Amino acid sequence: MFLRISNFKTGVLLFKNMSKMKLSHYHTLKIENPKEFVYNVQINRPEKANAMNNTMWLEIRKCFDELNENPDCRVVVLSANGKFFTSGIDLYDMMNLGEEISKHDDIARKSKILRTFIKTYQDCLTALEKCDKPVLTSIHGGCIGGGVDLISAADIRYCTQDAWFQIKETEIGMAADVGTLQRMPKIIGNMSTFNELAFTARKFDSSEAKEIGFVSRIYNTKESMLEHVMNIASNIAIKSPVGVQMTKRSIIYSRDHTVQDGLNHIGDWNQILLQSEDFVKASMAVATKDKTPTFSKL
Ligand SMILES: CCC/C=C/C=C/C(=O)SCCNC(=O)CCNC(=O)[C@H](O)C(C)(C)COP(=O)(O)OP(=O)(O)OC[C@H]1O[C@@H](n2cnc3c(N)ncnc32)[C@H](O)[C@@H]1OP(=O)(O)O
């Protein structure tokens, strides 16, 4: 029995390490693997200005869950096809939801449907944070409503000169509820500016996004942005996956906890991870000026 279990485990390990994991088929996303260990997730509903319909929300969660488990993926670049990055939530889906709710008379029944809906969509975007692989977003054109929630859950944001952003929820009579209000103030570190953008729902352009620290860099064209972002992604992908993935986990944990809690968290993890082969390999490479240490898949 023991032998059989250990053979099974070895088989799983071999499968994970040697064969490329098969990707699921997506209807609203296009996935490519343009460079070693770099995956490009493209929002792909251009005929509807990349409006985020129910399928897209669920596919975002599934895709990032899968990439988290995929040992061939070390970095994700999130971009979009078509004229807009995304026009936000699909307003026709919202109308259908309204019809669904109206079938019930009782407030508790209606509310339960809405709560499940909101929690599900929150989880779909939190999947970007739960994915240990860094997520770099390349934004062009308009990024509206739910799009701002989406990119706020990413680790790094880049955009083109023509990009514009809008926390549009107050304009459609709601408070943003899937991450913008929780994550974006921590990204830009300025409540006054954030509050103005959230209350007024006014558009802000790429220069303002850079000025307030929402994006890291602006590019003239989408092509030049993608070329540069892919290079940054590759630069991350050649690093130890143990080091990079734990760094992401520690950054997110520390954002949501006290300094002491964050220190305890990384102390607990590193007592294990400093025993990894990656630490020895990477340290040796630095000491011997070897520029190309290779790390096993993780
Ligand atoms: C628990 C829920 C949490 C989530 C909350 C999220 C909230 C939000 O996202 S608030 C923001 C909602 N979005 C909007 O208000 C944007 C609405 N769209 C527009 O303002 C314009 O369409 C846009 C400026 C994006 C583009 O304008 P343009 O003139 O260039 O193109 P259009 O002809 O208007 O659009 C092209 C086709 O796309 C369809 N479409 C665009 N946006 C949406 C959308 N949000 N939902 C559904 N469909 C959308 C549009 O109908 C056109 O389709 P067709 O008529 O079939 O050609």
Full pLDDT tens readout for the chain, 298 residues: 333 444 444 444 444 444 678 889 999 999 999 999 999 999 999 999 999 999 999 999 999 999 999 999 999 999 999 999 999 999 999 999 999 999 999 999 999 999 999 999 999 999 999 999 999 999 999 999 999 999 999 999 999 999 999 999 999 999 999 999 999 999 999 999 999 999 999 999 999 999 999 999 999 999 999 999 999 999 999 999 999 999 999 999 999 999 999 999 999 999 999 999 999 999 999 999 988 899 999 9
Look at residue 64 in the predicted model and tell me its pLDDT.
98
Which residue out of 44, 47, 48 has the highest number of ligand 1 atoms within 8 Å of its CB and is therefore the one to mutate?
Answer: 48
162 catalytic per annotation: no
Catalytic pick among 89, 156, 167, 187: 89
Helix (H) or strand (E) holding 55: helix 54-69
- For residue 298, is it within any domain? no
- Domain extent for 251: 241-287
Say whether 89 is catalytic.
yes
- 16 CB less than 6 Å from ligand 1? no
User: Is 50 a pocket residue for ligand 1 (Cβ < 6 Å)?
Assistant: no
Active site residue 107: no
Query: What is the CA(92)–ligand 1 centre distance, in A?
Result: 9
Cα four-point dihedral sign 81, 87, 92, 98: positive
**Which tokens go with 232?**
């940054």
Q: Are residues 80 and 108 in the same domain?
A: yes
Does the residue 183 lie in any domain?
yes
Residues 42, 82, single domain; the answer is: yes
Q: What does the DSSP assignment read for 178-210?
A: SSHHHHHHHHH--HHHHHHHHHH--EEEHHHHH
Q: Specify if 1 maps to a domain.
A: no
**From atom 47 of ligand 1, which residue's Cα is the shortest distance away?**
90
Q: How far apart are CA 244 and CA 250, in angstroms?
A: 10
* Domain's final residue, options 217, 237, 257: 237
**Active-site residue, 188 included:** no
Number of domains in the chain: 2
Q: Could you tell me if 41 and 76 are in contact, meaning their C-beta atoms sit under 8 angstroms apart?
A: yes
Which ligand 1 atom sits closest to the C-alpha of 88? 9
Domain shared by 201 and 246, yes or no: no
Q: Is 173 a catalytic residue?
A: no
Q: Which residues contact 244 (CB under 8 A, 6 or more apart)?
A: 74, 75, 133, 134, 236
- Which is the closest atom of ligand 1 to the Cα of 84? 25
Residue that has been written with the tokens 């990119």 in this structure:
151
Catalytic residue from among 142, 146, 147, 179: 146
In a domain, 3, yes or no: no
Residue pair 51/87 in contact (Cβ under 8 Å)? The answer is: yes
Question: 74 C-alpha vs ligand 1 centroid, how far in Å?
Answer: 33
Q: Does the residue 70 lie in any domain?
A: yes
